[in-house]
Amino acid sequence: MSQTGVKFEVIPSNFEESRVQLPPVKLVEYFAYMKAKDVSESIKEEALVIGSDTVVYCDEIMGKPRNREEAFCMLAKLSGKQHLVISGVSIINTATGESLTEHESTKVKIKKLSKDEITSYINTGEPEDKAGAYAIQGLGSLFVEKIQGDYFNVVGLPIFRLRKMLEHFGVKLI
């Protein structure tokens, strides 16, 4: 967000993500909206509240690994394959209640990984708290063979889509 030049404040949502049976696109849109809704209900002044959620999809939805073993399984599953990174973004205008929710998808191909590479990467601690157990903006970039789509979406916030959505609310970034 700081790249956009927009003044903002980070307010963590208290929305509890739970296992919901939805297709990946609908899931990230739902979680993004619920996070934005939770925060918007606590805001007293007029504001645009942005919520987002990102998952990795490779035959199944991969969120953040709960432990080292789950991180290993995720990275082994992504090894040598193409997957989708899907982010949902939701904006709520606290003054009017108007909302807009959309998503962005990016294809990412991970190189074939050895067990040692996966273990070494997990030992860095970087896979913790990352959808799909890797960070394209960090050491995980060493495994990315190819990307098709919005790089910033893979980082976790599709800036170009967000720009278009903010324009819907009358916010011009440039």
Residue 15 lies in a domain: no
The gap from C-alpha 84 to its chain's centroid, in whole angstroms, comes to 11
Q: What is the Cα Rg of the chain in Å? A: 17
pLDDT truncated to tens, each residue of the chain (174 aa)? 666 677 788 888 989 887 788 999 999 999 999 999 999 999 989 999 999 999 999 999 998 899 999 999 999 999 999 999 999 999 999 999 999 999 999 999 999 999 999 999 999 999 998 989 999 999 999 999 999 999 999 998 999 999 999 999 999 887
Contact 102, 169 (CB under 8 A): no
Task: Domain count for the chain, please give it.
Answer: 1
Note the pLDDT of residue 3. Answer: 67
pTM for this entry: 0.90
Residues 6 or more apart whose Cβ sits within 8 Å of residue 78: 56, 58, 62, 110, 113, 132, 133, 134
Residue 12 lies in a domain: no
Domain residue limits at 133 = 21-168
Residue 11 lies in a domain: no
Residue 158 lies in a domain: yes
Residues 6 or more apart whose Cβ sits within 8 Å of residue 74: 56, 62, 65, 127, 132, 133
Residue numbers annotated as active site? 53
Residue 100 lies in a domain: yes
Note the pLDDT of residue 172. Answer: 86
Residue 8 lies in a domain: no
Note the pLDDT of residue 1. Answer: 66
Residue 109 lies in a domain: yes
CATH of the domain at 118: 3.90.950.10
Residue 30 lies in a domain: yes
